[in-house]
Each structure stands twice: as C-alpha cells, then as structure tokens.
Amino acid sequence: MNGRSTISDVARRVGVSKTTVSHAISGKRRISGALKERIFDAIADLDYRPSPLAKGVAGSRMMLVAALVDSLCQPTTGILLELFQRELERFGYGMAVFTCGDSQERAVETMKFLSSGLVDGILNLLPGVTVNQALSCCSPVPAMTYLRPHIDSPVYIDIPSGMKAAAEYLLSLGHRRIGLIGGSKIKAVDMLVDPQVEGVRMALEPAGAWDPDLVAISSEGRFEDGLALAGRLVARGSTAIMAGNDMIAAGVLSWASRNGLKVPDELSITGYDDSQAATMLCPALTSVQVPFQEIASATVAALVGRIDGGSILQHRVLSLKLVIRDSCAPLKTGAKRKNI
C-alpha cells in the first residue's frame, strides 16, 4: 500500500530493535550517544516518518484536531478557523476542517467518524449542534462547542449587551423606529432566546421604542437576506436598520443604493462581527466588534486542557465593543420620507 520506509527498516539498517528506534524518537529512554546518532542518520537517510495511522491504532496521540463548520463561504468562518489554527499550532496540534452544511445527520456521522481516534479533539462550530449533542457524539474524544452559554463552554460573549449598546447609540442619534434583521443561526436548545433580539429589546423597551413588527429573522444570515428584508422594514417606518452580521448589512446597503436611499442620511445601518467587509463597504460600516482572537485562544486552551488531562474548565466572559464608522447619522426629523 505504501512505498515508504517503516520503523523496521530503520532498525534493520542500524542493526538494533524497533524498540530502540521508537525510544530514540520519543526520547522516553536514554540511548547511548553514538547509537542515537546512527539512528537519526538512518532516519534521515531513509526519510522515515512514523505512520500516524499506526500510531493512532497503537493508542497514541494524533496531534490533530478537527474543526466542524456548516459552510466555508461566510467570510467570518474563514477568519475564525485561521485563528483557531494559529492557537492550536502553539500547542503542537494540526487542524483539519470538515464541512457539514445544515444537515444534523451529516454532523453526527462526521463526529462519530472522527471520534474513533482519528483526531484528539473536536471543535464544533456548527450552529445547529448543541453542546450536549457534540459531547455525546464525540465521546470519548473531547469536544468544545463554539460560543454557547453552557457550563461546558469556556467562553461566553455577551451578545445582548453588545447589541444593546448599538441600539442605544441609534437612540442617541434620535432614531425611534429601529429595525432588526437577526443573523444568528444558533437556534438550538443551547439558546433559549435569540441573543441579538434580546439585546435590542433591552435597549428599546425602556425607551418605549420597541416594536416586534420591526424584527425580521434571516434564515441564512447572508447578503441576500439583507437585500430582501430591508424593504419590508423601511416600509414599516424604520429609519435605522440593525443587521445581525456584516453580510446582511451589506445587503441592506445594496438595497438602499438600488432604491435611491442615501446612507447614512436617509437610512442608518449597523452591522455585527466587524469583519473585513465593514471597512470595505461604502460608507464604512458601524459594527459590533466580536473578539474572535480571544474566543479562539480561550476555546483552544480549554480543548487542549481537556485532551491533556481533563483540567477544570475556566469560564471567560467577553464583552463586545461598538466600532463607530460612517453608516449612521442623526435622524433628520423634518425630512420627508421617500415613497418606496
């Protein structure tokens, strides 16, 4: 099957046993200097590399973790994955990414496949799979689920507060009819309420500006959803629209441009994620910044901790910062609204 050299080849070449070669590599046993050198010469000579497969079946670490995502097309996912990889690298682990779409069945398949020892740990970034589902499907391989308020999740980001801050900012600009296009795909049992909707409600209700009719939920959280739903909210009187992510915001922006509405003068828009798109768009997007780096480092640290011995989980609460750019303006009270 495999034309490459094995540990036996090395042992034979040097004239020692496989055991000695194995221990020379792992360093778990003292080997006399001269012999050690001959062994490493032979290894280099034969370009010998231990088979991860055989190591795995023999019960040792693969030094590999799997990351499960629903899609690779959202720009945010790519950034997050690269951050995860960088963190894993610091611990000597590699990363393999698996795409599962929105299929529960496929997610379960993949997890069970991987947890046979193929990987040492699993990062579950699937919005549709709960912490407990991941834990049970992956057992006995440790799994960390991205961003859930759960006892088995290492980091909680305070989404409601972040959205609340953004909504209050719009209130301070004089807006009262504030629309929301939610973007969270995490509808699983882990989340009882949509945290973005909740945050906006917390800000608007006390101000008497809360209107459930101005809340739209985008199923996929994509550009097209913003494009499609913006009109409905504006027709209901929204002078500002909060988007559940920056792609949705881009869609709203595009809708405004196509319908001749000037942003921010005639329509204010906020995003969420503060991804690269936020600075690319024109006008640059005021957006709620998500601390991806901190999320990645905390999650990876927790996963590696579990792999290396089941240490106690540290819980971190991270807050969100509103980055103000050019997509929101004070409400022009006197302005006559265009007819859509």
Partner DNA sequence: TTGTACGCGTTATCAG
Partner DNA sequence: CTGATAACGCGTACAA
Should residue 333 be labelled a site residue for DNA when binding is judged by CB under 7 A?
A: no
Q: If binding means CB under 7 A, how many residues of this protein chain bind DNA?
A: 31
Q: Say if residues 161 and 320 touch (Cβ distance below 8 Å).
A: yes
Should residue 276 be labelled a site residue for a copy of itself when binding is judged by CB under 8 A?
A: yes
Choose among DNA, a copy of itself, none what residue 35 binds, the Cβ cut-off being 5 to 8 Å by kind.
DNA
Q: How many CA atoms lie within 13 A of 309 on its CB side?
A: 1
Q: Is the peptide bond before 142 cis (omega within 30 degrees of 0)?
A: no
Should residue 139 be labelled a site residue for DNA when binding is judged by CB under 7 A?
A: no
Q: What is the dihedral of CA 138, 139, 145, 148, to 10 degrees?
A: 130
Give the residue, chosen from 5, 22, 51, 259, that forms a contact with a copy of itself under the rule CB under 8 A.
Answer: 51
Q: Which residues pair with 156 in a beta bridge?
A: 317
Should residue 23 be labelled a site residue for DNA when binding is judged by CB under 7 A?
A: yes
Pattern of binders to DNA over 31-70, x per CB under 7 A? xx--x------------xxxx--xx-xxxx----------
Whole-angstrom CA distances from 193 to 112, 149, 160, 188 are: 29, 11, 10, 10
Count other C-beta atoms under 10 Å from residue 172's C-beta. 10
Residue 209 to residue 246: CA distance in whole angstroms: 24
Q: What is the dihedral of CA 254, 260, 261, 263, to 10 degrees?
A: 60
Which window, 173-181, 195-203, 246-254, 296-304, contacts a copy of itself (CB under 8 A)? 246-254
Smallest distance from DNA to CB 5, Å: 8
Residue 56 to residue 63: CA distance in whole angstroms: 10
Should residue 139 be labelled a site residue for a copy of itself when binding is judged by CB under 8 A?
A: yes
Choose among DNA, a copy of itself, none what residue 17 binds, the Cβ cut-off being 5 to 8 Å by kind.
DNA
Should residue 4 be labelled a site residue for a copy of itself when binding is judged by CB under 8 A?
A: yes
CB-wise, 117 or 149, nearer to a copy of itself? Answer: 117
Q: In the chain, what is the greatest distance between 2 CA atoms, to the nearest angstrom?
A: 92
Binding site for a copy of itself (CB under 8 A): 1-4, 49, 51-54, 56-57, 59, 66, 71-75, 77-79, 81-82, 85, 94-99, 110, 112-113, 116-118, 139-140, 223, 250-251, 253-254, 257, 276, 280, 282
Binding site for DNA (CB under 7 A): 1-2, 6-8, 15-20, 22-23, 25-26, 28-32, 35, 48-51, 54-55, 57-60
